[in-house]
Amino acid sequence: MDKYKTNSAFNKWFSPINLEKLSILSKQKIADYNSYRKKLSFEAVLKLFLYGTNEEKESLRDLSTSLIIKQLQKETQVETISYSQLSRSLSALDTDVLVEIFQQLLLEVSQKTKPTKRNHLQLIDSSTFSLSLKRHSWATFRKSKSGIKLHLNLCFMDDATLYPTDFTITNAREHDVNQLDVLVNQPEATYVFDRGYLDFERLDQMHWDGYFFVTRIKKNTKVHILESFDIPEDTQVDILNDQHVSLGSTTYLTSRFRLVTIQDEKGKQLAFVTNRFDLTAEEVAQAYKSRWQIELFFKHIKQHLTIKTFFSQSEKGVHNQLILAMIATLLTTLVQLETQTKQTIFQIKRLFRYLLFEPVEVLLKKIAPS
């Protein structure tokens, strides 16, 4: 097949991935992969599965059938491939190479967004993906269930600009708080997480190591009030208390933290603990409110990036599919940042599906700011 050089929207989307700039080890692994698979190269299978991810293909049979599309054949240099070959190829992809591609894209996104202490938050949460017990016995976590957890760190700049910066994948039985030590790795960043991660010693360790946090306390948390402050009258949030406190009992008492208590629209009281003393009480409350964005992100991943159904039965294949979803998200984020559009990555993705093989100029005209 002749080399396809048309600058399509798909080419534009995929182009930030530069396999030649990966580490020597990753390039050797790609060469080894290609030496055993003459028909389906590493780059071709990467393009096919990213296409399948973005197009929400329901199965490997569906993805295999997609190659009747001439434009897809030209983009991938593959005319036909069986679903069984696709299955073997997905499991054969080296997970470490995919992670390095993710990191390569993340570096480019970070250079374009330039996150600082003041202009972003790091949202941490996890989501469980249920699996077939019969097909995925390696992921058993209950007698009748199999599943894995995606533990995610999401950089939140604003409602339109958010992207994954780090993740781990574990068995569904893994407790969320155990992943904090892995996901919290950027000094002076502010991490926002729910009370499922509440652990007094870990909060102290984060504080001593120069990390900032905003989280909720549990109803039975013992609070020792050290100082109370006046509440400004001109706030959009109903703030009940702004206090300096220590948490815990005589067996373990935390450092001095800040406790902001608000009443939400339904009359429910919510108490947030933080070591950001430079923010207003309203900003603390708004920081925690932004945590909802990671819930929306998980919903998007499950509903619109082919994670409703996993292609592979193997542990490696399932993990690779989740990493490919993270890579697809960063590719769309780069389009968003380069065009400076006000559309979210989810809106761009929907538009992208209809303009996939159109000239890139058609896509850019649709998403460019008015």
DSSP code, position 138 = G
Half-sphere exposure of 302 (CA within 13 A, CB side): 15
Tokens for 220? 């039975």
Is the pLDDT reported for residue 232 higher than 60?
Answer: yes
Percentage of the residues of the chain whose pLDDT score is greater than 70? 96
The dihedral sign for the CA sequence 173, 175, 178, 180: positive
Report the alpha-carbon distance of residue 262 to residue 18 in Å, rounded. 48
Beta bridge partners of 257: 245
Residue 211: per-residue pLDDT: 94
pLDDT at 214: 97
In DSSP terms, 121 is beta-bridged to 156
Mean pLDDT calculated for residue range 291-301: 89
- Taking a C-beta distance cutoff of 8 angstroms, is the pair 117, 190 a contact? yes
Q: Show contacts of 86-90: CB within 8 Å, 24+ apart.
A: 86/45, 86/48, 86/60, 86/311, 87/60, 87/311, 87/312, 87/317, 89/37, 89/40, 89/45, 90/45, 90/49, 90/60, 90/311, 90/312, 90/317, 90/320, 90/321
Asked if 171 and 139 count as a contact pair (C-beta separation under 8 A), the reply is yes
Tell how many helices (H) and how many strands (E) occur in the chain: 14, 10
Q: How confident is the model at residue 306 (pLDDT cuts 50, 70, 90)?
A: low
The strand ranges marked E within 248-334 are: 257-263, 269-274
Distance CA 206, CA 276 (A): 12
Please provide the DSSP assignment of 4-31 as one string: P---BHHHHHHTT--GGGS-HHHHHHHH
Task: Read off the pLDDT band of 370 (50, 70, 90).
Answer: low
* pLDDT beyond 90 at 72: yes
- pTM recorded for the entire structure: 0.91
Query: How is the chain split into domains, by residue range?
Result: 195-290
pLDDT digits (tens, 9 = 90+) for 205-225: 999 999 999 999 998 999 999
